[in-house]
Amino acid sequence: MSGHSKWHSIRHKKAIVDAKKGKMFNKIIRELITAARIGGGDPEANPRLRIAIQHAKSVNMPSENIERAIKRGTGELEGVKYEEAVYEGYGPGGTAIMVTSLTDNKKRTTSELRTIFSKNGGNLGENGCVSWMFHRKGVIIIDKNQIDEEKLFNIVVEAGANDISSDEKNYEITVDPDKFENVKNALINNNIKIESAEISMVPQTYVKVTDMKEAQQIAKLLMALEDHDDVQQVYSNADIPDEAFEGL
């Protein structure tokens, strides 16, 4: 069993709230457009687009919105061209943070993210300053009430998963990207509901933060970054308690 970060679970809960508000749609539309522009509009031949479509459906995005975004990406409809950018920096206590974004104005996004870091006790760093601390992995979250851990472990490991970790409510399965679809299908075939599934940047090790004031400051920084319109994903090696996010 590996270390577990609360941030994946917190992000999942936040995504549910944002989806209800319609706030999540803008981020997903940007990903659909970009995935289709880079890899084409056929999800069978474009794994990134396939994952984006699954994400869109999981938050009940209307089919016409999905189709329109894909057509914007392929050029069948006019649309904004978004540029991918990755930002790296440090949070309070020297915790590592990575941010992925899709923006139509990189200069603006860089300036705004630098401000968010500095206002919340962190600092934006140079490319490569923390990325070496992370591995690209598939991350799948399962509600613990559905299945016994040993049974789940046997199912996902046989399908190619690397490991399972857990907190009070969820199992978090990590898997190499090339086995991601295999593990998802194994879960579906065993009638196990998937709470969330994404290709993520997983820390090699976690930094456990026990000081609540510092934990709250990190939580505030992560949430502020996550709330930025141009930001797609926020990753951190900070392991902070759920209580740090209360009231944010």
Please, are residues 201 and 98 in contact by the beta-carbon 8 Å criterion? yes
At residue 22, does pLDDT exceed 50? yes
Q: Is 186 domain-assigned?
A: no
CATH of residue 36's domain is 1.10.10.200
Mean pLDDT across 224-230:
93
CB atoms within 10 A of CB 44: 7
pLDDT score for 71 = 97
Query: Residue 20: which domain range?
Result: 6-74
Task: Tell the residue number behind the tokens 């970054």, with chain if given.
Answer: 225
Mean pLDDT across 89-99:
96
CA distance 5 to 202: 9
pLDDT score for 243 = 85
Q: Is 149 domain-assigned?
A: no
Please, are residues 240 and 218 in contact by the beta-carbon 8 Å criterion? yes
Q: Is 181 domain-assigned?
A: no
Q: Is 205 domain-assigned?
A: no
At residue 47, does pLDDT exceed 70? yes
Mean pLDDT across 62-86:
95
- With cut-offs at 50, 70 and 90, classify the pLDDT of residue 34: very high
Please, are residues 98 and 235 in contact by the beta-carbon 8 Å criterion? yes
pLDDT score for 20 = 59
pLDDT score for 3 = 42
How many domains, the chain? 1
Q: Is 99 domain-assigned?
A: no
Mean pLDDT across 136-162:
93
Give percent of the chain with pLDDT exceeding 90: 73
Q: Is 169 domain-assigned?
A: no
Task: Tell the residue number behind the tokens 């009430």, with chain if given.
Answer: 145
Q: Is 165 domain-assigned?
A: no
Task: Tell the residue number behind the tokens 């992925």, with chain if given.
Answer: 100
State the chain's mean pLDDT as an integer. Answer: 90
Q: Is 136 domain-assigned?
A: no
Give percent of the chain with pLDDT exceeding 70: 92
Please, are residues 244 and 220 in contact by the beta-carbon 8 Å criterion? no
Please, are residues 32 and 52 in contact by the beta-carbon 8 Å criterion? yes
At residue 4, does pLDDT exceed 70? no
pLDDT score for 58 = 83
pTM: 0.86
CA distance 49 to 116: 30
| Higher per-residue pLDDT: 167 or 145 | 145
Q: What is the pLDDT of residues 169-210, one digit of tens each?
A: 889 899 999 999 999 999 999 999 998 888 889 899 889 999
At residue 5, does pLDDT exceed 90? no
pLDDT score for 44 = 94
